[in-house]
Amino acid sequence: MTQVEIFELSAYLDGELTKERARIVEAAIAANPVLREEYAALSEADARWRAAANTARFTPKTAVLPNTNRVWTHLAGGVLLLLGVRLLPKLAASFELNVLLSAIFFSILLAWAVRLEKRTRALI
């Protein structure tokens, strides 16, 4: 009978051996008390690791992710607002109107950014 190495016990446990080699290892485990004891310890450790891995699985909370359609809507609204703020003063040709519209735009932009930051922190 071919000698069985200790590392082959792990391969046998994981089903990684060919059918012929698995039969040889199985016969060696049955005949050799040292291999049998080593295989029993390996099987027990493997069972503990698998149980620990099953309890430690990570399940992402995808339900709390933001709706991407809403993000695109906000982005499109911001771009349109920016275009409007930049074009209106050129049409009116008034410095005061330009400053007023820029102040309104940046106030809205700041409020929007703060609101978005608060929502992002709430999701984390």
pLDDT digit string, tens, across residues 44-102: 999 998 888 877 777 666 665 555 666 677 777 878 777 777 776 676 667 777 777 78
Which has the closest alpha carbon to 29: 3, 66, 59, 55?
Answer: 3
End-to-end, the C-alpha distance of the chain in Å comes to: 61
Q: Where are the domains of the chain?
A: 7-55, 62-123
pTM: predicted TM-score of the whole model, two decimal places: 0.44
Could you count the other beta carbons within 10 Å of the beta carbon of residue 29? 20
The per-residue pLDDT for 104 is: 81
The span from the CA of 119 to the CA of 117, in Å, is 5
